[in-house]
Amino acid sequence: MSEQTPALNLAVIGGDGTGPEVTAEALKVLAAIARRDGFTYTTQHYDFGGQRYLDTGEILPPGAIEQLRRHDAIFLGAVGHPEVAPGILEKGLLLELRFQLDQYINLRPVKLYPGVETPLAGKGPADIDFVVVRENTEDLYCGVGGFLKKNTPDEVASQTAIYTRKGCERCIRWAFEYTRQRNNPKGKRLTLVAKTNVLTYGHDLWNRTFRDVAREYPDVEADYNHVDACCMWMIKNPEYYDVIVTTNMFGDIITDLGAMIQGGMGVAAGGNLNPDPGGCSMFEPMGGSAPKYTGLGVINPIAAISALAMLLEHSGFPASGQRVLDAVQKTTGSKMKSQAAGKMGYSTSQVGDLVVAALDQ
Ligand code: IPM
Ligand code: MN
């Protein structure tokens, strides 16, 4: 008897702290949706993260990237360990994977689910529903720079933002394509968020590229906001936005603002996409490893389950992804008391069960 090739071959990095707990709930939902929608999958677990680093001195062992690359997608719980200095795991794991796997899109839906509280007075789910497309491989994240006369009164430090035509063009084109397909009934609008009035070289390249690519998408409104103004509008008029495309550093900042207006880190999910044929993408809840909640069963798995919905959407199972997203929204809208850890009215695993039950409602 020949074995059936699984339709989806996943790498799972549960990671540190509460990462494995929220990952378990996402995998519970995956098992249920696969059964329901009739597809098969495999999971291969990798123990990368702070604990392995402390035990072995290694973050990603030799060959790890090549192994991960063979999977259709990666699910990442969280990395971050109280005994590991900040920056080490971020650089050695998260950024390393983004760069090595050329995950050049960081996709961050900013969507207020029903029943979820937003700090924005008078705004509801109809007002907060946009997507940020963040370039994910260039800018200040390249690690180009250095010190001169370090630890002296004359010290000089430089950190250089790198932008390439290829790097911004592939991101901008993907964002136009995404905006077209998202097909917002309020009108298709792609807003470039940058700082062309000050970053007159790097963001001039972005702006010119944006204008060039926009000509290929006459059905999409090509809009522009300075990043500081964008921060104001995201709070005052979030309903203005459909899709935002932006640089790596600005995208990092505005997506945390976005996470807060959509109800916080318990809810926000993101994808690091390599959309090229054969590319390996990685999906993660945005909250960190929250070590103080480890093992208590109080952490919110909604962000992790939303990350799973994104994984399905971008790995060839868009209908299943949508069904998971619908089930998440039924759960937040009709069951959960709060999205804050310990205040949900349910344990971590009960929230996973509620989403599973909602798949068929
Ligand atoms: C994110 C994170 C990372 C980033 C950190 C952990 C390096 O904040 O995914 O937004 O800055 O990109
Ligand atoms: Mn960030």
Does pLDDT of 4 surpass 70? no
Query: Residue of the nearest CA to atom 8 in ligand 1?
Result: 252
Residue 46 · residue 12 · CB < 8 Å: yes
Q: Which ligand is nearest to the CA of 286?
A: 1
pLDDT tens, residue by residue, 249-267: 999 999 999 999 999 999 9
- Sequence-separated (6 or more) residues with CB below 8 Å from residue 257: 231, 234, 235
Using the 3D structure, point to which of 262, 291, 315 is the last residue of a domain.
Answer: 262
Average pLDDT rounded to a whole number, residues 210-233:
98
Cα 90 to ligand 1 centre (Å):
7
The answer on 73 and 58 residing in a single domain is yes
Query: Residue of the nearest CA to atom 2 in ligand 1?
Result: 252
Using the 3D structure, point to which of 227, 262, 297 is the last residue of a domain.
Answer: 262
Average pLDDT rounded to a whole number, residues 268-279:
97
The answer on 284 and 258 residing in a single domain is no
pLDDT given for residue 127 in this prediction: 98
Helix/strand/coil for 271 = strand
Q: Which domain holds residue 30?
A: 1-109+268-361
The answer on 256 and 133 residing in a single domain is yes
Residue 215 · residue 188 · CB < 8 Å: no
pLDDT given for residue 6 in this prediction: 81
The answer on 136 and 8 residing in a single domain is no
Q: Ligand 1: does its nearest atom lie under 6 Å from the Cβ of 96? A: no
pLDDT given for residue 246 in this prediction: 99
Could you tell me which residues are beta bridge partners of residue 145? 159
Residue 12 · residue 75 · CB < 8 Å: yes
Compute the mean pLDDT over every residue in the chain, rounded to the nearest whole number: 97
pLDDT given for residue 5 in this prediction: 77
The answer on 140 and 234 residing in a single domain is yes
The answer on 335 and 290 residing in a single domain is yes
What DSSP designation does 34 have? Answer: H
The answer on 17 and 88 residing in a single domain is yes
- Sequence-separated (6 or more) residues with CB below 8 Å from residue 5: none
The answer on 126 and 46 residing in a single domain is no
The answer on 233 and 179 residing in a single domain is yes
pLDDT-derived band at 3, boundaries 50, 70, 90: low
Cα 256 to ligand 2 centre (Å):
6
The answer on 143 and 272 residing in a single domain is no
The answer on 124 and 251 residing in a single domain is yes
* Burial (CB count within 10 angstroms: exposed 0-12, middle 13-18, buried 19+), residue 292: exposed
Cα 110 to ligand 2 centre (Å):
14
The answer on 124 and 26 residing in a single domain is no
Cα 234 to ligand 1 centre (Å):
20
Cα 251 to ligand 2 centre (Å):
8
pLDDT given for residue 136 in this prediction: 98
Does pLDDT of 135 surpass 70? yes
pLDDT tens, residue by residue, 326-340: 999 999 999 999 999
pLDDT-derived band at 2, boundaries 50, 70, 90: very low
Using the 3D structure, point to which of 262, 278, 303 is the last residue of a domain.
Answer: 262
What's the number of domains the chain is made of? Answer: 2
pLDDT given for residue 257 in this prediction: 98
Q: Ligand 1: does its nearest atom lie under 6 Å from the Cβ of 256? A: no
Torsional sign, CA 172, 128, 106, 184: negative
Atom of ligand 1 nearest to the CA of 252: 10
Q: Which ligand is nearest to the CA of 95?
A: 1
SS (H, E, C) 103-163: CCEEEEEEECCCCCCCCCCCCCCCCCEEEEEEECCCEEEEEEEEEECCCCCCCEEEEEEEC
Average pLDDT rounded to a whole number, residues 270-283:
97
pLDDT given for residue 177 in this prediction: 98
Within a 13 Å sphere around the CA of 268, how many CA atoms are in the beta-carbon half? 25
pLDDT given for residue 1 in this prediction: 43
The number of residues making up the chain comes to: 361
Give the domain CATH number at 238: 3.40.718.10
